[in-house]
């Protein structure tokens, strides 16, 4: 019995080591190679297949950084993570706010950075389990250590969900504005960023008064940050 448990322990150790090496290798490779999709996009495909859809239903296309209007990444940072250029994947200020809010109300509020969202959307699954959050923290650390900030933003813009079965700024730009992402205006970029908290609820095809008001707030934040706020970021 002791031998069996010892072998099991050795097997688990080697298995864990293998997973660590594999995750490091994959993240490092994706520093230069564009991912064909993401875990969330794959889950959307599977979900549609289970529902019996008989045609391609997931919209997604990769768009390089240089083919995206500069207003788009600025709008996303203004809306989702204004300290993105400064932090190392975890925003201590937002985490402290979330903790104070939890102690006061008993409810958790979002404090995820763009780096954490990339880690989750690209590699993981939804939910708030300790296991998932632990994996998210690990992949966030790897991404921050191996990718540039601009690469993180580039991947985020290409895998974020902007509407039902619509992933990435390329697909969203054509679907909702009928133009390539390089030609998106500041107002359109703000609308895209405005739906990010919940693209299933906040719709770009029929923006609610709340979406328009949030987009106006995003535009105000963009102007406060300044058009050159992300100029210091560089691709590897």
Stretch 213-217: mean pLDDT, rounded? 97
Question: What is the value of pTM for the model shown?
Answer: 0.88
- Between helix 114-123 and helix 71-80 the angle, nearest 10°, is 100
Alpha helices in the chain (DSSP H): 2-29, 39-50, 71-80, 92-105, 114-123, 130-146, 149-159, 169-177, 186-194, 209-225
Residue 236 pLDDT: 46
Which pLDDT band, with edges at 50, 70 and 90, does 8 fall under? low
Q: Where is 60: in which H helix or E strand?
A: strand 59-60
- In the block, residue with structure tokens 């104070």: 100
Residue 44 pLDDT: 87
pLDDT at 94 over 80: no
Residue 52 pLDDT: 65
Q: What is the pLDDT of residues 169-209, one digit of tens each?
A: 999 999 999 999 999 999 999 999 999 989 989 999 989 99
């Amino acid at each position: 019995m002791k031998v069996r448990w010892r072998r099991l322990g050795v097997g688990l150790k080697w298995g864990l080591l293998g997973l660590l090496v594999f995750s490091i290798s994959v993240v490092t490779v994706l520093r230069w190679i564009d991912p064909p999709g993401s875990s969330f996009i794959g889950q959307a495909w599977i979900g549609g297949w289970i529902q019996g859809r008989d045609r391609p239903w997931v919209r997604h296309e990769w768009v390089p950084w240089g083919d995206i209007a500069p207003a788009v990444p600025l709008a996303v940072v203004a809306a989702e993570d204004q300290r993105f250029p400064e932090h190392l994947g975890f925003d201590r200020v937002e985490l402290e706010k979330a903790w104070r809010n939890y102690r006061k109300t008993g409810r958790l509020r979002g404090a995820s950075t763009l780096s954490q969202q990339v880690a989750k959307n690209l590699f993981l699954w939804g939910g708030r389990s300790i296991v998932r959050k632990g994996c998210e923290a690990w992949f966030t650390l790897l991404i921050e250590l191996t990718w540039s900030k601009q690469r993180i933003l580039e991947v985020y813009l290409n895998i974020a969900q902007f509407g039902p079965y619509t992933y990435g700024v390329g697909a969203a730009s054509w679907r909702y504005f009928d133009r390539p992402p390089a030609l998106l205006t500041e107002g359109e970029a703000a609308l895209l960023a405005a739906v990010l908290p919940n693209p299933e609820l906040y719709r770009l095809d029929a923006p609610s008064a709340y979406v328009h008001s949030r987009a106006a707030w995003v535009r105000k934040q963009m102007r406060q940050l300044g058009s050159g706020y992300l100029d210091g970021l560089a691709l590897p």
